Amino acid sequence: MPRKAQTWNDYVTAVDQIILAPTDSDFLDQLIPVLRDATTSGRTAALAKSLSIYAEEREKDIEQIGLTKHEEFLGSVNQLQKVREGTVILTSEILDLNQSIQASTEKLAEQKQALVNTRGVRQNITDVSDALKESLRILHAVNNAHDLIRRKKYYAALKSLDDLQNEHLVPIIQNKYATQYKLADLIQKSIPDSQKAISKAVMNDLNTWLYRIRETSQFLGEVAFYHTKQRQDRQRARIESNSFLSHFKLNSAIELVSDENNDFDVLDNDEVQVDFTPLHEALHIHEALGQLDKFRAEYAATRRQQKELLLPSTVDLLSENDELSLSSLLEGIAGFAIIEKVTMQRAPQLRSALDVDELWDSMCQTSVNLISGALSQVTNAEALLKIKPVVGLFIQTMDSWGYSVSMMNNLQLTLFHKYAELLGRRFSEDFQEIVATDDYMPMPINTPEDYEKVLSVSWIAQEKPTQELTFPCVLPFSQMYPLCCIDIRNLVNQFYYFASSDDHFQHSNIIDETLRRSLDELLTERVCHSLVERLSVQYLGQIVQILINLEHFETACQKVEQLLIENRTSTSAGGPVTLNATEQFRNNKKTAEKRIFELVNSKIDDLVDTAEYNWTATTRPTETSSYMVTLTQYLSNIMNSTLLGLPREIKELIYFDALSHAANKIIALPLSNDVKKINPNGLEALSLDVEHLTKFVSGLENSFMLQSTLEELQQSVALMKSDNHDEFYDISMRNKKYNRVDAMNGPILIEKLTQTVDNPTRAAAPLANFGSRFGLR
């Protein structure tokens, strides 16, 4: 270890030691440190002053010596002069040496300072280098994180930022005196922005994914519909091979098991692929950032907005434009709902069942409102047959995904009511036109083929095989009957076709009841009432034809009741089906019969009113009255022509009523107050007419029953022609011979009888007898 340089406080002592040095080398050894110290400390002047003082003292000593020892002094002076000269020389050399040493010392000091400075710079460089290396590691980690963000590796970027924070930034920040503190603090403060950038980038990718999903929704729904249609076709094929499977609808357990070999992923197939990676990544990132609730709310709001954009303001059920069509609407809803259901299954922490069902109910309600509002534009029932399968396909597709389809089932019911309304309106017009344009004449048939056609569509009893019939022929009903039967069959078929147009309709019992009610209304209002209204005409043939048609329509209603029982779609329904129209036709047959009675009796009244009996004729008649001949001809004609097509029992009833009415009308002639006397000639004219009528009736079919209608008339004429009128007043004889003669009318007729004009006594006797028998005076 080098010795520390001596420090001189006073150079006087040092000069003494230097001067007293025994040798030159010692002199120099002692002089050099003093010079270095003086140069270093800047006290060169003090050293020179000390040397000067020493020299002066020595001169004084020399002078003193010179005064005492002159010669020695002179010698000493000379010697001293020499010494002085040597000293001056030496001083000069010393000064030169001093300057040289001083220069050397300054240079050495500068070199030492430079060395010190160099060592400091080197240490600073080392420190800076270390700091830069650490900073570069931090910056590399930051750049790596941002590079991962640019490469869309968001979770790796987030993990890189987390590692940067834990491994580098936190230790540095905890030491406030660290070189990288400011950098670390700056980067630490920028990490939230980086995380926000990651979140924003993830959301941008997610929004892009959501946009693509929205654009894909309709196509996804179309693929789902196609898959459901394929399942329907496979199920129908299985039902054809095994009818037992017809009891199991689409999405039933049996159908699902039968179809499990036909695996099909709606979200990943040749037509469409939906990758949920962006969604899962966004969910993972926001969960790592502790922003799951915020992300869930933003995602829900975005899906609600997309739902609103998905649903149009209007829908045109009849349009072929894809954007406005019903299929586009339902396909879009289906695709959207499928995405929601899959999202709920794959990310239950993001989408709950409540969220998904809320969106589903909202879409269903909106679509139902749109479709229900657009139904007013539909005026053709066939258009609804195109709409209903689309709705059914939508229901079956979404039912397979576990969605509630009650709203759409109710929509199908709305479609059916609209369908029934349009069918009812159209068939009502058809029935009305058929009834209005009918000729109300028996229907002519020219060929066996025409007869077979009528037989195939109408409900008629075939009395003979077609081969035994002679053509052309005439059927009893008019043309309206088979035309109405065709419409009835078409109406039944079209009603049930609505239910069979797809495999999903939950209201079959309503179809049965609505069909029964529609048929009842059409047959009652458009057929029965229209026929009854036409009974007011005066043409007997038309009324007869209406009665025949009513008879056949009653039979048709009974057949339709059986048809409805056989074809009803509801398996739970049982018991008979009753049409009110059946009773309506049955009751109005009586109305038609009464109307026929009225017209026939009115004609009889008109004919009998033309009778011109001369009750007191002077000559005996020999021929039947013209009115009676006309009456019997009329009755014969209507029975053989107009009433020919009526059932036998109705014809007999009409004949019975007509003959009864005619008999009553004829017997009322002599009972008239205008007839005062009836002589034998007038009685003979009445008798001839009654005989003619009796003969006519006896020639009729079932005359035995019909003749009873003339008994009162016959017995009244017989009473008037009898010679013993007292028999009428004898109860036993009256019951035996005149039991059908009215007890009040008999005496009146007897009273009016007279044998001759000039012999009134015979006519007065019966009156006296009549008065005595009944207590008259």
757 confidence band (pLDDT: 50, 70, 90): very low
Q: Based on the fold, state whether residues 437 and 335 are members of the same structural domain.
A: no
765 confidence band (pLDDT: 50, 70, 90): very low
Across residues 57-83, what is the average pLDDT? 69
All residues at 6 or more sequence positions from 513 whose CB lies less than 8 Å from its CB, including other chains: none
Domain limit, last residue, from 582, 600, 632 = 582
d(CA 239, CA 244): 7
Q: Which residue has the higher pLDDT, 718 or 206?
A: 718
Most confidently predicted of 199-213, 251-265, 386-400: 386-400
- Cis before residue 278, ω within 30 degrees of 0? no
Q: Based on the fold, state whether residues 98 and 215 are members of the same structural domain.
A: no
Kindly state whether residue 162 falls inside one of the protein's structural domains.
no
Q: Based on the fold, state whether residues 34 and 85 are members of the same structural domain.
A: yes
CA neighbours within 13 Å on the CB side: how many for 188? Answer: 16
Q: Based on the fold, state whether residues 742 and 653 are members of the same structural domain.
A: yes
Query: Per-residue pLDDT for 163 more than 80?
Result: no
Kindly state whether residue 185 falls inside one of the protein's structural domains.
no
Indicate the average pLDDT of the chain.
Answer: 79
Return the pLDDT at 213.
84
Return the pLDDT at 770.
36
Summarised one tens digit per residue, pLDDT across range 638-691 is 888 888 778 888 888 888 899 999 999 999 999 999 989 999 999 999 999 999
All residues at 6 or more sequence positions from 253 whose CB lies less than 8 Å from its CB, including other chains: none
Kindly state whether residue 269 falls inside one of the protein's structural domains.
yes
Q: Based on the fold, state whether residues 426 and 324 are members of the same structural domain.
A: no
Mean pLDDT is lowest, of 391-395, 477-481, 580-584, for 391-395
Query: Per-residue pLDDT for 524 more than 80?
Result: yes
Structure tokens at 615: 């009750």
Return the pLDDT at 502.
58
Return the pLDDT at 485.
93
Return the pLDDT at 488.
92
155 confidence band (pLDDT: 50, 70, 90): low
266 confidence band (pLDDT: 50, 70, 90): confident
CA neighbours within 13 Å on the CB side: how many for 221? Answer: 26
Query: Per-residue pLDDT for 197 more than 60?
Result: yes
DSSP code at position 707: G
Q: Based on the fold, state whether residues 548 and 452 are members of the same structural domain.
A: yes
- 524: burial class by Cβ within 10 Å (0-12, 13-18, 19+)? buried
Q: Which residue has the higher pLDDT, 486 or 45?
A: 486
Kindly state whether residue 451 falls inside one of the protein's structural domains.
yes
474 confidence band (pLDDT: 50, 70, 90): confident
Kindly state whether residue 190 falls inside one of the protein's structural domains.
no
DSSP code at position 16: H
**Number of domains present in the structure of the chain:** 4
Q: Based on the fold, state whether residues 143 and 215 are members of the same structural domain.
A: no
Q: Position of tokens 């209005």?
A: 436
Mean pLDDT is lowest, of 72-86, 192-206, 680-694, 702-716, for 72-86
Domain limit, last residue, from 325, 346, 379 = 379
Structure tokens at 36: 């270095």
Q: Which residue has the higher pLDDT, 128 or 730?
A: 730
Q: Based on the fold, state whether residues 255 and 327 are members of the same structural domain.
A: yes
Across residues 85-107, what is the average pLDDT? 74
d(CA 693, CA 710): 9
756 confidence band (pLDDT: 50, 70, 90): low
Summarised one tens digit per residue, pLDDT across range 642-657 is 887 788 888 888 888 9
Across residues 582-593, what is the average pLDDT? 91
Summarised one tens digit per residue, pLDDT across range 218-230 is 888 888 888 777 7
CATH number at residue 477: 1.10.357.30
Kindly state whether residue 357 falls inside one of the protein's structural domains.
yes
Return the pLDDT at 725.
87
Note down the domain range covering 739: 610-773
- Calculate what percentage of the chain has a pLDDT beyond 90: 17
Q: Based on the fold, state whether residues 269 and 329 are members of the same structural domain.
A: yes
Summarised one tens digit per residue, pLDDT across range 416-450 is 889 899 998 999 999 999 988 998 898 999 998 99
Query: Per-residue pLDDT for 470 more than 90?
Result: no
Return the pLDDT at 3.
45
Q: Based on the fold, state whether residues 480 and 556 are members of the same structural domain.
A: yes
d(CA 526, CA 434): 10
32 confidence band (pLDDT: 50, 70, 90): confident
Q: Based on the fold, state whether residues 529 and 651 are members of the same structural domain.
A: no
Across residues 254-281, what is the average pLDDT? 72
Domain limit, last residue, from 102, 117, 148 = 148
Query: Per-residue pLDDT for 762 more than 50?
Result: no
567 confidence band (pLDDT: 50, 70, 90): confident
Q: Based on the fold, state whether residues 578 and 620 are members of the same structural domain.
A: no
